[in-house]
Amino acid sequence: MNLTALPDSAADRPLALRMRGDLELREQKFDGRIYWAVKDPISLRYFHLRDEEYTLLTMLDGQASLEELRERMNGVFAPRRISRQQIEGFLTTLHKNGLVLSEALGQGEQLLVRKRRQRRRKWLETLMGVLAIRFPGVNPRRVLDVLTPWFGWLFSPLAVAFVLVAAVAAVAMVVVEFDAVEARLPALDAIVSASNLPWMILSLAAIKILHELGHGIACRRLGGDCHEIGIMLLVFTPCLYCNVSDSWMLPSKWRRIAIAAAGIYVELILATLCTFLWWFSQPGLLNVLCLNTVILCSLGTVLLNGNPLLRYDGYFILSDLVEVPNLKAQSSAALRRLLARCFLGVELPRDRLAPEGKWAFLLVYGVASIVYRLVVIGLVLWVLNELLEPYHLQPLVVLVACITAVGLLWPAGEGLVRWLRNPMRQRVAPLRVMFTGGLLAAALAAIVMLPLPMHVSAPAMIEYRDARRVYVTVPGTLAWSVPAGREVQAGEIVAQLEDTDIEREVIDLTSQRDRQQLHVTHLAARRLQGGTDGAEAPAAESALGDLEEQLTQVTRDAERLTLVAPAGGTVLPPPHVSGKPAERGQLPRWSGTPLDPNNQRAFLDTGTLVCLVGQPNQFEAILHIDENDVELVHTGQRVHVMPDHTAGESFAGTLVEIARLDLESMPSELAAAGDLPAATDARGVARPLNTWYQARVRFDADPPRMIARMHARAKIEVNRRTLGSRLVRYLTQTFGG
C-alpha cells in the first residue's frame, strides 16, 4: 500500500483504514516523554509509538480522510504543524507492520505477499545466524502458573535482600580465604579436561533451564505473560530460551528491569549456594558439580547475560535504565547518521523514536556493541578452530565464519540497496565521497600490509636434556637392574640380561673350537713326523677359523647382554609402557618400565629402552610441528613452552634443531592429548595421519617442578607477516588441495 503523493481530491476521500480492534496498548514514559507500547496478539510483535502516533492510530476508523486527519492532528497538538507527507509516511508504516486494516480491494493478495516476505526473512535470519539457532517452542503458561506460587517468593524484596547478603558473604569468604581457595582449585587443564566435559555440559544445561524458568516465573509474578519457551542452539550447544517480550507492555520500568534481571538473579543464587557447598564439601562428584556451576554462572553473567553490549539480559536492563526504547536500533540509526554526514555529506532524518540529548551516548554504545560483538564472534570461531584443527576440519569453521559474516553484513547491504533507490542519494557530495573513500582505502591497505607478530603453535613434550639412552641390542630376560635415581659412572653396569640359548651356544662353540684346535694341532704334528702329506690341514684350519668367528660373534652377543652406562650421571626411568592384552595362547607382556622391581625376569626385545643416564634437573622441550607450518620455523627463533600443570605459566627458550620425524607410532602422551590427528590400527596403536617435524628447544634456564614426558603447548615466534600474506597462505592451505 502506498499513500505518498496523493492529489488533493484523493486526500479528501475516506482512507478506508481502521485500527485493528485486537491490539493491546499500554502507556509508558521514557525520559519524561509519553510512549505507547503496542502488542500484536497474533504475531506477538511489539512496537513503540510516540503520543502523536498513538493519537493518529486511534483516529483511524475507516471513514476519516487524509486531510481530515491532518486537521484533527494539528488541532490536538497545536501549535505544532503536521504535514500531509508525515501522515502518509506513518500510515504506510502502520500498514506495513499490520497494525491497521484496509477495506480497499485486493488486500488479500497484499497480505499473502507480506506473509511470504516475512517467512523468507525469518528463514534467512535463521540461516545467517548459525551461531544462535532458535527452534519453535511451546506455551509454558500452565507450567509457570504451577511453579509461580511455589517459587515466586524468591523475587520478593525480602528474598532479594537475603540473596544479596549471602552473595556478599560468599565473596568475602573467598577474599579472606583466598590462599586456601587457590590451593583447593584444580588446574585449568583439569577443569577443561575431557573427563570433566560431560559434567560441565550437565551443569550448563541445569543452569540454563533454571535461568529461563526464572525469567518466566518473574514475568508471571510481576503481571506479564510468557508466550513461548523452547530449545535453541547457542554455538551448537543445546539450551533453553524463554520469550518474556510481554514484559515490554508493563508500565513500570522497574518491573521490566526485574524480569530482565531474573535470569542473572537465579544464577547468582546458584553461584552463591554452590560456593558454600564447594568450600565445605569433600572432593567428589558434588564438589566438581558445584565448582562447574560457580565458573559457568560467573563467566556467563560477565561475558554474556549481564553484558549490555550483547542483546541479552544486560541489554534490556540498560535500555530501561537509560530510558531508550529499542536501544540497539537507536544506536545503529545514530551511527548511520554520523557516517552519512561524514562520508556522504548527507544529513539523514532523525529516527522518530530517537531520544533528545543522548546522541553521544548512542554513538559510544553503538561502536562498543559492534566491537564487542565482533570480539565475541572471533573468540567463538577461534575456539571452534582449535577444537576442529586436530581433525583438519578448518573448512567447516571457514563456512561458519562466512555465513556469520554474511549475516552481519546483510542489513548493511539492504540499507545500501534502499539508499540507491532513494532520491536523496542525488544529494551526495562527490568530492567528499572520493576523499573519504580514498582515506578508507589507504587505511585498509595500511592494515593489510602492516607486518604483525606471528606465532606458530605446536604440541610439545618435556624430555631430559642431553640424556644418553640405553637400549637392548640383544634380546634376553632381565636378571637385574639398578633402580632409577642411582648415580653411576661411565661403563658401570646398569642392567643384566640373560639368554640361555646364547650361553649354551657359547659353551658348545667353545667346545667345538677346542676340539678343532686339537685336531689342527694333531695334523700338524703328524705332518712333521712324516705320517701325512698335510692335505687335510687347510680344511681343518678353515673350519677352525669359522668356529672362532662364530664364537667371537656369540661372545659379543653375550657381552651385549650386559648393559652399561654410556656416560656418568643419574639413572633415569624411560617412558612408561602400557600393558597390551595378550593374544590367545601367549603370556602377557610387561608394563611400566624395565627398572620396576616387578619386571625382573621379563623378556626385553631388541630396541627396548631400558633407561636414560643424565641429569634429573635438566630438561628440554621436543616440539612436533605440522608440515604446513614448518616453512615458517627456523633455528634460533624464540619459543615459549607452557606445560599443562603450570596453569598458564610459560618458560622461554630457543629453537636449536629441526629434524624430519616419520612417526610410525604416536607417543602415548600425544595420543592422549589429541594434539596430532591419528588413526588407531588393529593392535590399538595410534598412527599419525600426516607428516610432522620434530624440533628441539633449549630453555634459557632449567624450569623448576618439571617432569619428563609431560605434555605441553609451545608458541614459536616466527617472522612477522602481513595480514594479506596470512590470508593468502590460509586460503592456499585450505583450498589448495
b/e code 387-404 from CB counts within 10 Å (16+ = b): eeeeeeeeeebbebbeeb
CA 708 remoteness from chain centre: 29
Position with higher pLDDT, 731 vs 177: 177
User: Is the per-residue pLDDT at 673 higher than 90?
Assistant: no
**Helix (H/G/I), strand (E/B), else coil: 210:** helix
Task: Enumerate the β-bridge partners of residue 231.
Answer: 240
User: Is the per-residue pLDDT at 103 higher than 80?
Assistant: no
- How many helices (H) does the chain have, and how many strands (E)? 21, 24
* Mean pLDDT (whole number) for 472-481: 90
Among 251-260, 330-339, 387-396, top mean pLDDT goes to: 251-260
Long-range pairs for 107-113: beta carbons < 8 A, 24 or more residues apart: 110/1
Using a 10 angstrom Cβ sphere, with 0-12 exposed, 13-18 middle and 19 or more buried, the burial of residue 451 is exposed
The pLDDT-based confidence of 734 (bands split at 50, 70, 90) is low
Q: What is the DSSP letter of 65?
A: B
* Mean pLDDT (whole number) for 339-345: 76
* Mean pLDDT (whole number) for 451-455: 87
pLDDT digit string (tens) for 695-710?
Answer: 899 998 888 878 888 8
Nine-digit cell string for 653: 627458550
In angstroms, the CA 543 to CA 517 distance is: 10
Position with higher pLDDT, 180 vs 425: 180
Q: What is the DSSP letter of 286?
A: H
Position with higher pLDDT, 395 vs 713: 713
Structural domains for the chain: 8-117 (3.90.930), 129-321 (no CATH), 455-465+618-735 (2.40.30.170), 469-608 (no CATH)
In angstroms, the CA 389 to CA 395 distance is: 10
User: Is the per-residue pLDDT at 1 higher than 60?
Assistant: no
**Helix (H/G/I), strand (E/B), else coil: 629:** coil
Q: What are phi and psi of 722, to 5 degrees?
A: -75, 160
- HEC per residue, 647-716: CCCCEEEEEEEEEEECCCCCCHHHHHHCCCCEEECCCCCEEECCCEEEEEEEECCCCCCCCCCCEEEEEE
In angstroms, the CA 464 to CA 572 distance is: 9
The pLDDT-based confidence of 736 (bands split at 50, 70, 90) is low
* Mean pLDDT (whole number) for 393-400: 77
pLDDT digit string (tens) for 488-531?
Answer: 999 899 899 988 888 888 788 788 877 877 877 777 777 776 65
The pLDDT-based confidence of 248 (bands split at 50, 70, 90) is confident
The pLDDT value recorded for residue 93 is 85
Answer whether the bond into residue 79 is a cis peptide, omega within 30°: yes
The pLDDT value recorded for residue 256 is 92
* Mean pLDDT (whole number) for 98-114: 73
CB atoms within 10 A of CB 72: 15
Q: How far is CA 640 from CA 170, 711, 722, in A?
A: 37, 14, 22
The pLDDT-based confidence of 185 (bands split at 50, 70, 90) is confident
Q: What is the DSSP letter of 344?
A: I
The pLDDT value recorded for residue 227 is 85
* Mean pLDDT (whole number) for 306-313: 87
% of the chain exceeding 70 in pLDDT: 83
The pLDDT value recorded for residue 2 is 47
User: Is the per-residue pLDDT at 4 higher than 50?
Assistant: no
* Mean pLDDT (whole number) for 59-75: 84
- HEC per residue, 19-51: ECCCCEEEEEEECCEEEEEEEECCCCEEEEEEH
The pLDDT value recorded for residue 35 is 87
The pLDDT-based confidence of 210 (bands split at 50, 70, 90) is very high
User: Is the per-residue pLDDT at 468 higher than 50?
Assistant: yes
pLDDT digit string (tens) for 567-620?
Answer: 999 998 888 777 655 555 555 677 888 888 888 888 898 888 899 999 888 889
